[in-house]
Amino acid sequence: MRVLVTGANGFVGGALLRRLVALDAWRPIAAVRKLPRDSATIGDAVEHVELGDLARGMFRSVLFTGVDAIVHCAAQVEVKAKVESDPLSVLRAVNVDGTLALAKKAALEGVKRFVFLSSIKVNGETTAPGEPFKADDVPAPEDGYGVSKLEAERGLMQLARETGMEVVIIRPPLVYGPGVEGNFGSLIRLVGKGIPLPFGLIRNKRSLVGIDNLVDLVVRCLDHPAAANQVFLAGDGQDLSTAELVGALAMAMNKQPRLLPVPAGALHLGARLIGRRAVARRLLGSLQLDISKTCERLDWQPPYSVEEGLRCCFDGSSERGHL
């Protein structure tokens, strides 16, 4: 069976392609924004095709030839507010309009299933202690990215009702693994340098998902009958405080964690004074996911523990090899 992966050059898309290459059941196709002039540079383990202009919704029919399923990983994640007068419209152009145009074309061309990588931001940004987000909770996005993902989800479900093409929505939290960037990558570098971090008294709980666990879930959603037209939350099934995460990262690097006992209130105050409230919210607040629906409906369990996933960030044992 042929599966088309958008965002093929991205963190999740690239890892998914590597997993599919190792499986006999699927023939992966990498949809990239633009093919390089030298096709030899993209390798021969995966067929590559040019996606087209996602923001304009312009795709060639040949893109969908013989395709049984699409995994849509491509997205507009950030917009520089200082550059764009209306950042939400930029996010919507790709994440909503582009996604729905791609899905509509896929339905017309006979694609059977469309798997959409959404975000836990659709649910919200924080959870109260002991009250994790669930897949069927009322959405409450707080930023433009979350809003755009929710609008895309709703449009896809409406399309599924109108056309019969099956839609599967996966909402992951922070995804980590070899080569991860962003705030998690910065945290890895700080721990690796042995810099003391002020999180010794932080007792929050946050859900994460390792790249290999997420990819395993996506593969399960490609053809599982019970996945059709459902929303699933992704996670490792093990929540960590920021202090525990720093300790686990240090252990994975064979280092001693260096944690300072600074009260959370002082950290929140300092973050407000330097304009980093959003970062403090992620480091100090809780964001827990209940993945019981995912596990029960799909007969699935995360194959790797958090400890195994973090070790893969440093020892190269992840399936994130090279094509």
Averaged in consecutive runs of 10 residues, what is the pLDDT profile of the chain (323 residues)? 92 93 89 63 67 75 87 87 74 94 94 98 93 96 96 98 97 93 89 93 95 97 97 97 95 92 92 85 93 98 94 66 34
Q: Check residue 285 and give its pLDDT.
A: 92
In this prediction the pTM is 0.92
Phi, psi of 75, rounded to the nearest 5 degrees? -160, 155
**Calculated CA dihedral for residues 201, 207, 208, 212, nearest 10 degrees:** 140
Q: Check residue 182 and give its pLDDT.
A: 86
Q: Check residue 83 and give its pLDDT.
A: 56
Q: Check residue 127 and give its pLDDT.
A: 96
304 is catalytic: no
Q: Check residue 288 and give its pLDDT.
A: 97
Question: 230: buried, middle or exposed (CB in 10 Å: 19+, 13-18, 0-12)?
Answer: buried
Q: CA of 197: how far to CAs of 30, 48, 188, 254, in Å?
A: 40, 44, 12, 17
DSSP string, 152-184: HHHHHHHHHHHH--EEEEEE--EEE-TT--HHH
Q: Check residue 196 and give its pLDDT.
A: 94
- CB–CB of 190/197 below 8 Å? yes
Q: Check residue 85 and give its pLDDT.
A: 72
Where do the domains of the chain lie, and which CATH numbers do they carry?
2-176+208-236 (3.40.50.720)
As a 3-state breakdown, the chain gives helix, strand, coil percent values, each rounded to 5, of: 40, 15, 40
Please pick, among 11, 145, 176, 232, the residue that the annotation labels catalytic.
145
Instruction: List residues bridging with 5 in a β-sheet.
Output: 30, 71
> Tokens 């009958």 — which residue?
225
Question: 124: buried, middle or exposed (CB in 10 Å: 19+, 13-18, 0-12)?
Answer: middle
The first and second tokens of residue 117, run together, are 């990588």
